[in-house]
Amino acid sequence: MLAGFATISIIIALGALLAHARILGRESEGMLARVTFYVASPALMVIVLGGTDVSRLLSTTLLASLGSVAVTATVAIVLARLVWRRSASDTVIATFCASYVNAGNLGLPIAAYVLGDASLIAPMLLAQLVLLQPLGLAVLDSTVHLSDLDQSRARRLGRRLSQPFRNPLLIGSLAGLLLSVTQIRLPRFVEDPLTLVGGMAVPGMLIAYGVSLRLGPRPGAGEPAVQVGTLVALKLILQPAVAYLLGRFVVGADGLDLLAVTVVAALPTAQNVFTHALRYRRAEILARDAIFFSTVLSVPVLVLIASLLG
């Protein structure tokens, strides 16, 4: 677990160091976000989901993962829209902050080191990549194009309806899921380039995040502390609690499966939430601060869960 945290911390520090040395500037955040959003992350989704056993993707713990995401996301939406009066696009980023777990670059090593089986991360990956992420990005795409007043009403409507299906991350996720279900293996000349390109996704996200930490407002200074703190509490307390209750009392999970669904739900906010915030220029500081504080505070939370349920 600590090895996983140390790895991402070093790469984030590298991004901050590059920004401090003026090798990378603010413009590099957008460039890295575009590369990871349009190229690297879709390739990574094809490889990760395509290489996962479909029985893992559709295991009984999938219901607990879906439920933890749905409940936490609903609470975040109510708070962001009705209490904090944030815009629809800001609400999407806030919802991601509260319920989108770091299942990729942190979840995979923790699943391997703590749980002993990296594939235990698959149900949460599926819940996020096929449900939470497409819905959120559809709202972001819609709000971005609502201002295109120079287009006809029919054209705007068609663009909004088709936009989610032109999203590269959704396309990559669906392609990977299709490969898993059909058990088709990509030829080497396709799989190897996808693996190499997908390998850029995680370090690209982390370096961009480090640049933001160095050049942007210090963590906790750019957004209301109550909002950031609440989103972090939803992420680290509510989501794993819901996952545990659903896992134990609804789907009847126990032992390693119950530990896995709870630990995975308690992972901090994913770095690609910051990538989405940069891509759409919405609530970047909110995403950055939620990632920072949830990552730091998740260490004792994960250790406690592993101690109680391990």
Residue 149 banded pLDDT, cuts 50, 70, 90? very low
Residues 66 and 10: their CA atoms lie apart, in Å, by 32
Q: What tokens were used for 106?
A: 């942190």
Which residue from 61, 66, 59 is spatially nearest to 252, judged by alpha carbons? 61
User: All domains of the chain, ordered by start, with CATH?
Assistant: 2-309 (1.20.1530)
- Residue-wise pLDDT for 119-147, tens only, equals 677 788 778 877 888 888 888 877 765 44
Query: What pLDDT score does 280 carry?
Result: 87
Q: Which residues are CB-neighbours of 27 under 8 A, at least 6 positions away?
A: none
Which residue from 295, 278, 143 is spatially nearest to 228, judged by alpha carbons? 295
Residue 73 banded pLDDT, cuts 50, 70, 90? very high
Burial 212-232 (b: 16+ CB within 10 A, else e): bbbbbeebeeebeeebbebbb
Query: pTM for this structure?
Result: 0.77
Any idea which of 43-47, 48-52, 74-78, 87-91 has the lowest mean pLDDT? 48-52
Above 60 in pLDDT, residue 156? no
Above 70 in pLDDT, residue 114? no
Comparing 20 with 55, which gets the higher pLDDT?
20
- Residue 229 · residue 94 · CB < 8 Å: no
Q: Which residues are CB-neighbours of 165 under 8 A, at least 6 positions away?
A: 171
User: In terms of DSSP H, where are the helices of the chain?
Assistant: 2-20, 26-35, 41-50, 54-57, 61-78, 88-99, 107-110, 122-127, 133-145, 153-162, 168-182, 188-198, 201-215, 225-233, 239-249, 255-265, 272-280, 284-309
Q: What does the pLDDT average to over 195-213?
A: 86
Residue 150 banded pLDDT, cuts 50, 70, 90? very low
Q: What does the pLDDT average to over 263-272?
A: 90
Which residue from 7, 93, 15 is spatially nearest to 290, judged by alpha carbons? 93
- Residue 66 · residue 192 · CB < 8 Å: no
- Residue 203 · residue 7 · CB < 8 Å: no
- Residue-wise pLDDT for 224-241, tens only, equals 999 999 999 999 999 999
